[in-house]
Structure 1
Amino acid sequence: MSKYTRKLKKMIETAPQEETAVLVALIRQNQSEHEVEEHLDELAFLTETLGAREVHRFTQRLEKPDVRNFVGTGKLEEIQAYIKHFEVDMVIFDDDLSPSQMRNLENELKVQVYDRSLLILDIFLNRAKTAQAKTQVELARYQYLLPRLTRMWTHLERQRGGTSTRGGAGEKEIETDKRIIRNQITALKEKLRKIERQGETQRKGRKGIVRVALVGYTNVGKSTLMNLVTKTDVLAENKLFATVDSTVRKVVLENIPFLFSDTVGFIRKLPTHLIESFKSTLMEIQESDLLVHVVDISHPSFEDHIAVVNQTLNELGAGDKPILLVFNKIDLVPKMPSEEELMNMSELEVEEANYLDFDKLKKVYTKKTGIEPVFMAAEDGTNIDDFRKALVEEVKKQHFKIYPHYLASQTYDLSQFDDEDEA
């Protein structure tokens, strides 16, 4: 064996092993198998974002979750046999588990069990960068975990860089952990109050300038679009929740100044504790004058994503704000052929091609929002000028509400509106 081969073998043996996961979902009475598969695709993407790899999926058609183990006895045995045979590290459920279900499943399966909320909370914990975001996520996570501590997994030792946890906590240790968590919750709430007071002071200093907030489902290209408009370098990755920290930038287009903020992406079944803890961050949305709702039009469920975002905006009390809808990633959508080309295609070919009629979509959503949507591709800059033109038009409307006697030649001192990276 050569020196190089021995070195390579040693590197492979000492390299950290990627953890594996099986995914579990129920098919409800009003759901199709296709819809559940789409949900599991998203769950697999979340799993990958955490740093683990999906190896198998289990689904079961049940009218409602089993009170004890979420899935039926037969399905639980099937999952148990699979993870034992293939030495799987964790099981991830696409729904939230009750504290008793979490305890029962970990006792039965003898591996770490995640539900959807805990998975998202851990991703947020890994992704948070600012003091406020870290505090908000830690608070949400502790509040969620407190009633879910078990003999086997306390989740308290998880570090931001990895996915492994400790086990073997006895009853006394669980009580100790609970007391530690309660103390942590109290301390984090106080820390968050201090940070929020600073944030309120910052927001008061922004009065007199239009505020625009980017919103949308996670991974739709908001940060890429922000980089295009502001010419800055905000983290943009093809991962869910690439950033959970709001970023505020000052922008001037056609001599109209405004503040442009990128906010955390929404997702279906966003954990309640997370929304509660992020209320101060989401104030950026509540206090904005205009929302730019970015949609990944290449995603087969983009209309469902629009509905999720609108529902979340309504829950935040921001559903009545002016919305500029931006259909992003048009470069990934098959272009509608000409009438002549359509004539030579079969109905099946047209259906499988999944063509989208942009003109029809424009009419439908203009009627819904009152503002004509923009179709673009932020990644390569396609139709970026159309977006800038639409953005300026809507910002002007808000600007004239603040300054009815505004003159185009007027200039502003924007030094008070420093760029900010917020939680």
Structure 2
Amino acid sequence: MANKTSQPTTSPRERAFLMGVEIYGQEGLLPLADSLQELALLAETAGLEVVGELTQQLNRPHAKTFIGSGKVNELKAFVEETLAQVVVFDDELSPRHQRELEVLLGKDVRLLDRTSLILDIFAQHAKTSDGMLQVELAQYEYYLPRLTRAWTHLARQAGGGGGRSGAVGGVGLRGPGETQLEVDRRSISKRISHIKKELERVRAHRLRHRDRRKKSLIPTVALVGYTNAGKSTVLNQLAKADVYVADQLFATLDPTTRRVELPGGYKSLFTDTVGFIQKLPTTLIAAFRATLEEIAEADLLLHVVDISHPNALNHFEAVEETLVDIDAGHIPVITALNKIDLLNDPEKAQLAVEHYPRAIAISALENTGLKELKALLQKSLYETYTPILVRLPYQEGNLISIFHEAGKIERIEHERGGVMIQGRLPGRLIAQFDGWEILSEDINSKDEVA
């Protein structure tokens, strides 16, 4: 008889129970049921098994426990019935709410809110040292006000980030009269300060790269969109690249830049950035500032929308709101309505185009509509000109060169100490001349197409 070989086994996933609350007057972009469905996807992405959900509508959050005392008892009963080990709230809980609920639900139940769940996913998916630093900073800033006992709880939740440098792990000896909690908080605050300094260096490094790209006059396009909209697939098709793709939320976090050839031999640089989501934690937006600046400094945004999703318009609005939050709301946008291959009626995609700004229907997976998308990108980057009149000092030789190389000069006058140039520039370059532009009634403020 042949020997039986043992099959590898995987540890069972933790069982998670979801709790959703709708506060009158504070409704989110998604209806409560859809928001909970998204929370379930987040939980599964984090490696949890969802075993049930509960909802409540409130005029305002309960001061101590966020939900009412009766609902807490109901939640506890469901947790015991389903043998859930984790309870996940669809909102960010305050430190007080978290402490009270942890006591009432019992020490054997782990409590997460939407923010901590997203932070956990980011910790799992960050691959580069920059990305891991950004996630670590967001985790520590989130957990610091919630620290109520020994730091080991925080270190476990925060992915053990402090272990890399020992700044948090090596707590050290306590001074006279100093509690362990005070030592923990002081040590974590030092680690936060250290990470911020490291990220400032990352930010400065990326700034130098962006400056070099600007001097090369190769325009940059940032891909933005709701998580799992298909941005990485779009980039792979446009650039013939091999960016990691997975049908899950936040599959890629670290920015990836690829060169894309546009019609007519024109070149451009495309950067794939972290996907957005409704109720995106403010700690993440702050921590990912260095990454999100890649969006804010782009010449053009390519907003990828999963048009097959029932909440596509809500997702679009969530991304638009986040773009305003990161000071990128002024950048020109082209909207790519992706995944039309998943629609039962393809004509719906063409009808949807009318509801989105400068939109084009595509299927990145099946390479449908990408030729037309490239043509629209090339026209937006190289053929859309804006009238401008500037007076530049001779020391600004770089800007004078940009006007000569990329613009269309209609009049130029050499003056003492500088030069006055009137003409037209690609819209993507106008921002570089802020502070030098002369407002004149002789210039038509509307964009023209050459």
Whether these two folds match at TM > 0.5 is yes
What is the aligned partner in structure 2 of residue 232 from structure 1? 241
Per-residue deviation at 1:395?
2.3
- Letter paired with 2:14: E
Determine the C-alpha separation between the residues in 1 that align with 2:148 and 2:104.
12
Is the CA contact (8 Å cut-off) linking 2:337 and 2:353 kept in structure 1?
no
Is the CA contact (8 Å cut-off) linking 1:289 and 1:398 kept in structure 2?
no
Q: Secondary structure at the match of 1:156?
A: helix
What is the aligned partner in structure 1 of residue 366 from structure 2? 380
Q: Does 1:296 align with 2:306?
A: yes
- Letter paired with 1:202: H
What is the aligned partner in structure 2 of residue 251 from structure 1? 260
For 2:75, which of 74, 79, 85 is the aligned residue? 79
What is the aligned partner in structure 1 of residue 397 from structure 2? none
What is the aligned partner in structure 1 of residue 197 from structure 2? 190
Cα distance, 1:296–1:160 mapped onto 2, change above 3 Å: same
Is the CA contact (8 Å cut-off) linking 2:224 and 2:303 kept in structure 1?
yes
For 1:148, which of 99, 123, 146 is the aligned residue? 146
Cα deviation, 1:261-315, whole Å, max 9, x if unaligned, reads: 1011111111111111111211111111110000000111111111111111111
Per-residue deviation at 1:220?
0.1
Cα deviation, 1:336-369, whole Å, max 9, x if unaligned, reads: 6xxxxxxxxxxxxxxxxxxx7444433343xxx3
What is the aligned partner in structure 2 of residue 26 from structure 1? 21
Determine the C-alpha separation between the residues in 2 that align with 1:105 and 1:50.
22
Per-residue deviation at 1:159?
7.2
Determine the C-alpha separation between the residues in 1 that align with 2:187 and 2:354.
56
Return the index of the structure with the highest Cα Rg: 2
Q: Secondary structure at the match of 1:154?
A: helix
For 1:199, which of 186, 206, 211 is the aligned residue? 206
Cα distance, 1:65–1:329 mapped onto 2, change above 3 Å: same
Determine the C-alpha separation between the residues in 1 that align with 2:384 and 2:275.
24
Determine the C-alpha separation between the residues in 1 that align with 2:2 and 2:89.
46
- Letter paired with 2:361: F
Greater shift in the superposed pair: 82-91 or 308-317: 82-91
- Letter paired with 2:133: T
Cα distance, 1:204–1:395 mapped onto 2, change above 3 Å: same
Is the CA contact (8 Å cut-off) linking 1:210 and 1:398 kept in structure 2?
no
Aligned CA-pair RMSD: 2.5
What is the aligned partner in structure 2 of residue 270 from structure 1? 280
What is the aligned partner in structure 2 of residue 344 from structure 1? none
Q: Does 1:397 align with 2:393?
A: no
For 1:121, which of 102, 119, 125 is the aligned residue? 119
Q: Does 1:209 align with 2:218?
A: yes
Determine the C-alpha separation between the residues in 1 that align with 2:23 and 2:193.
39
Determine the C-alpha separation between the residues in 2 that align with 1:249 and 1:260.
5
Q: Secondary structure at the match of 2:18?
A: strand
Per-residue deviation at 1:173?
4.5
TM-score w.r.t. length of structure 2:
0.76
Q: Secondary structure at the match of 1:324?
A: strand
Q: Secondary structure at the match of 1:180?
A: helix
For 1:89, which of 81, 85, 89 is the aligned residue? 85
Greater shift in the superposed pair: 184-193 or 172-181: 172-181
Per-residue deviation at 1:179?
2.6
Determine the C-alpha separation between the residues in 2 that align with 1:4 and 1:173.
53
Cα distance, 1:177–1:87 mapped onto 2, change above 3 Å: farther
Q: Does 1:37 align with 2:30?
A: no
Is the CA contact (8 Å cut-off) linking 2:16 and 2:88 kept in structure 1?
yes
For 2:292, which of 257, 270, 282 is the aligned residue? 282
Q: Does 1:51 align with 2:47?
A: yes
Determine the C-alpha separation between the residues in 1 that align with 2:286 and 2:76.
35
- Letter paired with 2:354: K
Is the CA contact (8 Å cut-off) linking 2:307 and 2:349 kept in structure 1?
no
Per-residue deviation at 1:3?
5.2
Is the CA contact (8 Å cut-off) linking 1:297 and 1:327 kept in structure 2?
yes
Determine the C-alpha separation between the residues in 2 that align with 1:93 and 1:62.
15
What is the aligned partner in structure 2 of residue 419 from structure 1? none
Q: Secondary structure at the match of 1:155?
A: helix
Q: Secondary structure at the match of 2:232?
A: helix
More strand by share: 2
Per-residue deviation at 1:89?
1.5
- Letter paired with 1:123: I
What is the aligned partner in structure 2 of residue 17 from structure 1? 12
Cα distance, 1:330–1:74 mapped onto 2, change above 3 Å: same
Q: Secondary structure at the match of 1:206?
A: helix
Per-residue deviation at 1:46?
0.6
What is the aligned partner in structure 1 of residue 327 from structure 2? 317
Determine the C-alpha separation between the residues in 2 that align with 1:325 and 1:292.
6
Determine the C-alpha separation between the residues in 2 that align with 1:329 and 1:299.
9
TM-score w.r.t. length of structure 1:
0.81
Per-residue deviation at 1:246?
0.7
Is the CA contact (8 Å cut-off) linking 2:338 and 2:364 kept in structure 1?
yes
Cα distance, 1:397–1:121 mapped onto 2, change above 3 Å: farther
Determine the C-alpha separation between the residues in 2 that align with 1:405 and 1:142.
51
Per-residue deviation at 1:399?
8.9
- Letter paired with 2:332: P
Cα distance, 1:76–1:142 mapped onto 2, change above 3 Å: same
- Letter paired with 1:286: A
Per-residue deviation at 1:240?
0.7
Determine the C-alpha separation between the residues in 2 that align with 1:388 and 1:399.
18
Cα distance, 1:226–1:289 mapped onto 2, change above 3 Å: same
Q: Secondary structure at the match of 1:205?
A: helix
For 1:362, which of 353, 362, 371 is the aligned residue? 353
Is the CA contact (8 Å cut-off) linking 1:25 and 1:94 kept in structure 2?
yes
Cα deviation, 1:138-177, whole Å, max 9, x if unaligned, reads: 111101100112349823214759xxxxxxxxx9554443
Determine the C-alpha separation between the residues in 2 that align with 1:88 and 1:359.
45
